[in-house]
């Protein structure tokens, strides 16, 4: 059960847009539309931001959006705000084990 591949860090200035990638295989990201994204602030529990590739739970800002192409899923945050600084994790259903997470990406708002 290899973890999905995410960049270790990304950064952006307030108001800009950033994209975090999540690369897997045809056995996980590419094979199912069951990719989710979670935001985790230091010392806090993760929070669901996107599920099933591109769906936003109620209460999540529409500045957050998700997409997928082939074996790579992406989380885009537009109009970057200071409060968006956090760790972000992707996850996917897999054929070998129900769920796998990415290694996480630290977002820094400059």
Partner 1 sequence: EVQLVESGGVVVQPGGSLRLSCAASGFTFDDYTMHWVRQAPGKGLEWVSLISWDGGSTYYADSVKGRFTISRDNSKNSLYLQMNSLRTEDTALYYCAKDRVLDYWGQGTLVTVSS
Contact 53, 33 (CB under 8 A): yes
Query: Is 59 near partner 1 (CB under 8 A)?
Result: no
Which residue, 85 or 87, is less far from partner 1 as judged by CB?
A: 87
Site size with partner 1, rule: CB under 8 A: 24
Please classify residue 28 by burial: count the beta carbons closer than 10 Å to its beta carbon, then call 0-12 exposed, 13-18 middle and 19+ buried. Answer: buried
Q: Which stretch binds partner 1 (CB under 8 A): 12-20, 22-30, 36-44, 73-81?
A: 36-44
Query: Is 38 near partner 1 (CB under 8 A)?
Result: yes
Q: What is the largest CA-CA distance in the chain?
A: 40
Please classify residue 14 by burial: count the beta carbons closer than 10 Å to its beta carbon, then call 0-12 exposed, 13-18 middle and 19+ buried. Answer: exposed
Query: Is 45 near partner 1 (CB under 8 A)?
Result: yes
Both tokens of residue 16? 């800009």
Residue 99 Cβ, how far from partner 1 at the closest point, in Å?
Answer: 4
Binding site for partner 1 (CB under 8 A): 1, 3, 34, 36, 38, 40, 45-48, 51-52, 57, 87, 89, 91, 97-104
């Amino acid at each position: 059960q290899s973890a999905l591949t995410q960049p270790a860090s990304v950064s952006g200035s307030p108001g800009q847009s950033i994209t975090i990638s999540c690369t897997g295989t045809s056995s996980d990201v590419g094979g199912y539309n069951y990719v989710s994204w979670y935001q985790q602030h230091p010392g806090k529990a993760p929070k669901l931001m996107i599920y099933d590739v591109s769906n936003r739970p109620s209460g999540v800002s529409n500045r957050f959006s998700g997409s997928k192409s082939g074996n790579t899923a992406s989380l885009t945050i537009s109009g970057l705000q200071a409060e968006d600084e956090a760790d972000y994790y992707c996850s996917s259903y897999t054929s070998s084990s129900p769920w796998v997470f990415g290694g996480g990406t630290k977002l820094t708002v400059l």
